[in-house]
Amino acid sequence: MKDITPTTGRGFLDYAPAPESTSILHLKDSYGLFIDGEFREGTGGSFATISPATEKRIAEIANGSEADVDAAVAAARRAYEKTWSKLSGADRGKYLFRIARLVQERARELAVAESLDNGKPIKESRDTDIPLVAAWFFYYAGWADKLDYAGLGANPRAHGVAAQIIPWNFPLLMLAWKIAPALAAGNTVVLKPAETTPLSALLFAEILQQADLPPGVVNIVTGAGETGQALVRHPDVDKVAFTGSTGVGREIAKAIAGTRKKATLELGGKAANIVFDDAPIDQAVEGIVNGIFFNQGHVCCAGSRLLVQENIHDEVVDRLKQRLMTLRLGDPLDKNTDIGAINSAEQLERIRTLSDIGEREGAERWSAPCDIPENGFWFAPTIFTGVTTSSTIAREEIFGPVLSVLTFRTPAEAIAKANNTPYGLSAGIWSDKGSKILAVADKLRAGVIWANTFNRFDPASPFGGYKESGYGREGGRHGLGAYLTTQAVEDRPAQPDASRASRRTKGPKK
C-alpha cells in the first residue's frame, strides 16, 4: 500500500465558506396537517423537526393521529368521487404542469429547506433533488391524457385513494415519485412524509394551494410509524405505495394481506459496484465516490459493495483514499460541501454500530481525516477492505458513507458475489468492453444496472427491485401502471366487431 498523504484538501486547497442564505425561507413556527386543501391543527400532539447539522429546532410539526388520518382519507375519497375522477386527463395534466412550474419557481427555497431539514449538501438538493422533482411532474403531466395509449391494458382507470409513505433520504423527490404518477393516473392521495424530514412536503402543500389544486386531491399527514400504520390499515384506502426499509415493508405487506389493497414496495438495497481491470480507473473512482458517498450514502441504490478485480485492488483503493481526502465535510448549506450531516442520531448510531461490527469481524477500516463539527450528526467517509461475502457489512444495508470492498478474479465470480445478497435493487459495472458489460448485466439480479456511471435518474426510466428490495416499479410507463387498474380480457364486453374478427380468423364466408 502506498503512503497516503493529502495532496489536496485542507491547507492546500482551502475554500472560503460559501453558505447559502436562509433568508429566502419564510418558515412558520409550527405546521398543522394539510387536509382538504388547508392546514389544520392535528389531534395527536406535535414534535419538533431539527437540523441534523446543528441539532437546532426548525419548526413544530403536527403528529397525525388515527382520527386525523381518517379525516385525510375521507377528504381524499370525497375529492376522488366529486372532482378528480370527473376531470379529463388533459385537465389533470394542466394541474401537474402548473405544479412542476411552481416547483421550478420556488426551487431555491425548496433546496434550502431540504438541506436544512435533511442535512444533505445544498449542491445536491439544488442540482439533483429539486430539478428531478420538477422533471417528475413534467413527465407525468404529459401522460395524464394518454393513459389509453400507454399500452398498459384496456380501459385504464385509477384505483381511487392512494396511501403513500416515504422515507427521509430524498424527501421531496420521493414525494414527487409518489404523487406525480398517482395524480396523472387519476387517483387522490394521502401522503405521509418521514418524521425527520417533513418540511419540504409542507412547503409542497403551499405549492398545491398556489396551483389551485382542488381540495382533498392531495393530503399531507405528518407523523411517525404509528401514523403510517393507521394510514396503511385504513379500510377506505385502495392502494398503498411505500418506500422505506425492508423491515417496515414486510410489516406493511402483512397488514394488507387478504385485503383488496394494491401495493408497491420500494425497499432497501446493497448494490454491487463492479470494477473490472479494463475499466477507465479515474472515471471508476469518481463513480465509486458518487455511488456510495452521494447524499452521505443515504441512498437505497447506493453502490455500498465495491467488487474490484483482484489485480487492480491496491491501485483502486489507493486512488479512492486520495480522492476521499479531498471531500469537504461540513455545513450542508455551504455550496462547497460534499458530505453533509447524517440525518438523525438514530441513523448515526446504526452506522456506528455496523461499522464497529465490521471491525470486530476482521475487516480493515480506514476513514478520511475530517474535522467533525462539534454539534450535529456526522460520520467521516469510510472504507472497509478485506471484507468477505459473509461479513455483516457486506450483507446488511448500512445506509451511510461506508464502503465495503471485496475482490474477484473472473466475471463469473463477480456475478456470483454481486448476486449473493437478499437485496436486488441496483448494480454498477465498470469496463471498457461493451460486450462484457452486456453479458454481466444480463446475469445480475438487480432492477437497475448502470454501466460506467452510477446513480443516474430519469423520470422516463423505471426503478425498482428484486427479492427483498421490494416489488413494483416507479418511474416511466411502468410507474404509471402501478396506479391504474385495467380491464382483463375476459371482463371486457363483447366488442361490436368481435364477430367480424372471429369470422376473419376462420376465413370469410363466400
The residue ranges that bind ligand NAD (CB under 6 A) are 165-169, 192, 194-195, 224-225, 228-229, 232, 243-245, 248, 251-252, 266-269, 300, 397, 399, 425, 465, 469-470
SS3 116: helix
Q: Which residues are within 8 A (CB) of 506 and not within 5 positions of it... i.e. 6 or more apart?
A: none
Does the annotation count 300 as an active-site position? yes
CA distance 299 to 303: 9
Q: Which residue is nearest to ligand NAD (CB)?
A: 228
Query: Exactly one of 266, 396, 397, 468 is catalytic; which is it?
Result: 266
The residue among 165 and 406 lying less far from ligand NAD, judged by its C-beta, is 165
The residue among 120 and 313 lying less far from ligand NAD, judged by its C-beta, is 120
Q: Could you tell me the smallest distance in angstroms from the CB atom of residue 333 to ligand NAD?
A: 22
The residue among 163 and 317 lying less far from ligand NAD, judged by its C-beta, is 163
Q: Could you tell me the smallest distance in angstroms from the CB atom of residue 244 to ligand NAD?
A: 3
CA distance 450 to 303: 10
Q: 12-32 burial, b if ≥16 CB within 10 A, otherwise e?
A: eeeeeeeebeeeeeebeeebb
Q: Could you tell me the smallest distance in angstroms from the CB atom of residue 332 to ligand NAD?
A: 18
The residue among 408 and 450 lying less far from ligand NAD, judged by its C-beta, is 450
> Is 505 exposed, middle or buried, given 0-12, 13-18 or 19+ CB atoms closer than 10 A?
exposed
CA distance 509 to 200: 66
CA distance 431 to 88: 48
Query: Exactly one of 300, 370, 396, 474 is catalytic; which is it?
Result: 300
**Axis crossing angle, helix 225-233 with helix 66-82, rounded to the nearest 10:** 40
Q: Could you tell me the smallest distance in angstroms from the CB atom of residue 195 to ligand NAD?
A: 5
Cα atoms in the Cβ-side hemisphere of radius 13 Å centred on 154: 9
Does the annotation count 266 as an active-site position? yes
Q: Could you tell me the smallest distance in angstroms from the CB atom of residue 377 to ligand NAD?
A: 14
The residue among 124 and 334 lying less far from ligand NAD, judged by its C-beta, is 124
Q: Which residues are within 8 A (CB) of 46 and not within 5 positions of it... i.e. 6 or more apart?
A: 30, 60, 61, 62, 63
Q: Could you tell me the smallest distance in angstroms from the CB atom of residue 178 to ligand NAD?
A: 10
The residue among 251 and 277 lying less far from ligand NAD, judged by its C-beta, is 251
235 to 43, 185, 192, 316: CA distances (angstroms): 20, 21, 17, 53
Sheet holding 426-430, edge to edge: 364-367, 382-385, 402-408, 305-309, 272-275, 426-430, 448-451
What residues act catalytically? 266, 300
